Amino acid sequence: MRIILVAVLSVLMLTGVAFASGGKKAEHKDNHCVGAGPQSPRDIAVSKGSSSVIFNSAPDYKDMNLCNVHFHRNAEHKAPNYSEFVKDGDNSGWACKQPSAERLAKGSHVEYKHCEGIQPGDTIEVHWVHTTCDINSEGVKPLGGGLSACMTESCPNPQLRVEAQVFVLAKDGTLKFNDKAPVSPNADTVSYTGSTTGTSYSNNHCSPFQVNWNVRTSCETLDIDDFANWCSHNKYNDHHAHGVRELVTSPALLSKIK
């Protein structure tokens, strides 16, 4: 029964239904979120947090198994280098700071076939999701797609770590995409304990999953043609930009960044 429940919850996660907010903001005292554990996304420049739920740190991502790669249009997290708010429906989030001349008018975001939701000038946040489950052994089958790809019947409750990086997409961008590891592994990073994200979660409907986050503070320029090529045929079946969960700001819903 526990495995079935985990599988059902998991299907909702990284598919875009739930690794991105929705819902109206509510004060934490009026909802059930306080006991759910620290939440994500957050302003990584703000270290304060008073969530009483503490969980063990996951191993370094190099010692875990990569189980999912996906992206959001506009950054879910906020940092000094990506702090311009963009009101964009379910994709409302944070954009990289850039000269106004480089900011292109927003269109329908369908310019790239089989990679719906991006165009030059967009900010995206990419998540490389890692699990402690041995999903690569012969004969082992993950429970499904999305976050379920990070779990197996014999490992229904893994430790999870997400490596996150924010980019602005541009023609002839400086960097090429890498779906096996963060593009800038040695960039300045903020680490904290939080949750999965997703448009089905809000400040009064929290994620129950515990995640160790490493979020890079920079905003790099990523070649959009190279990224769209990955997006069109990647093995994670991730061919569109996911929505953005509203920023979590209540200290009671956040862990303290050390």
Residues 43 and 65: their CA atoms lie apart, in Å, by 27
Strands (E), 37-186: 65-73, 84-86, 93-95, 123-131, 160-170
Report the percent of the chain where pLDDT is more than 70: 82
Residue 59 zone, left/alpha/beta (φ > 0; ψ -120 to 50; rest): beta
Among 19-33, 41-55, 221-235, the range scoring the smallest mean pLDDT is: 19-33
Asked whether the predicted pLDDT for residue 234 surpasses 90, the reply is: yes
Of residues 204 and 248, more confidently modeled = 248
User: Mind listing the pLDDT tens digit for each residue in 80-127?
Assistant: 999 999 999 999 999 998 754 344 445 556 668 789 889 999 999 999
Please identify which residue in the block is written with the tokens 């990506």. Answer: 82
Q: Which residues contact 229 (CB under 8 A, 6 or more apart)?
A: none
User: Mind listing the pLDDT tens digit for each residue in 147-188?
Assistant: 899 999 999 999 999 999 999 999 888 899 999 999 998 899
Helix/strand/coil (H, E, C) string of 175-243? ECCCCCCCCCCCCCEEEEEEECCCCCCECCECCCCEEEEEEEEEEEEEEHHHHHHHHHHCCCCCCECEC
How sure is the predictor about 2, in pLDDT bands with cuts at 50, 70 and 90? very low
- What is the pLDDT at residue 174? 87
- What is the pLDDT at residue 11? 39
Please state the rounded mean pLDDT for residues 238-248: 94
